[in-house]
Amino acid sequence: MLEKRIQGLWLEEDSLLVNTTEISFGFLQSAGLRITRTEFISCPTCARTSFELQKVLHEVQNHFSGMPGLKIAVMGCVVNGPGEMADADFGFVGTATGKLHLYKAKTPIIKNIEPSQAVEKLTQILRQYGYFK
Ligand code: SF4
């Protein structure tokens, strides 16, 4: 009984330590003091957005979250998206037809990507630029 109680306390302590560490890294990353994971930028969407931005954003976050120092954007439209993601390394920008352009910094490098192909195309590009071996 006592042994189980002690094990329970250790587990609680471990969970607390993990949570505290994650929160601390989150603050440091937000402040730009310690970058431990990929940064993602996206817009709040509006009437100009013609694709499922949240779906694409989640897919991109799930696949590329462990790349410290890399900034990836998913923006709703070509009207304001490129300007608002100016400091991203790579970014998807929605077009009026529901497709995406993939930018490297301020330059579109692949046009008219189906949203379902976003992760695959970015993987190819990151490999091409040496982010993956
Ligand atoms: S980037 Fe385009 S879609 Fe996103 S909020 Fe701004 S204007 Fe709307």
Please check whether residues 103 and 80 belong to one and the same domain.
Answer: yes
pLDDT of residue 83: 95
Q: Are residues 45 and 105 in the same domain?
A: yes
Residue-range definition of the domain harbouring residue 11: 1-35
DSSP string of 22-71, one letter each residue: HHHHHHHHHTTS---S-EEEE----TT--S-HHHHHHHHHHHHTT-TT-E
Let me know whether 43 and 76 are in one domain.
yes
pLDDT at position 19, please?
Answer: 62
* Rounded CA separation 131/84 (Å): 24
pLDDT above 70 as % of the chain: 73
Q: Whose CA is nearest to atom 8 of ligand 1?
A: 46
To test the ligand 1 pocket, which listed residue (84, 101, 103) has its Cβ within 8 A of the most ligand atoms? 84
Q: Taking 60 as the threshold, does the pLDDT of residue 3 lie above it?
A: yes
Top mutation candidate among 41, 42, 48, 57 for ligand 1, by most atoms within 8 Å of CB: 48
Which residues form ligand 1's pocket by a CB distance below 6 Å?
43-46, 48-49, 75-77, 79-81, 84
What integer is the mean pLDDT of 32-61?
A: 91
d(CA 6, CA 38): 37
Residue 81 has pLDDT above 60, yes or no: yes
Q: What is the pLDDT of residue 132?
A: 78
Residues 45 and 106 in one domain: yes
19 & 1 share domain: yes
Residue nearest to atom 5 of ligand 1 (CA): 45
What percent of the chain stands above pLDDT 90? 68
Model confidence at 74: pLDDT above 90:
yes
pTM tops 0.75, yes or no: yes
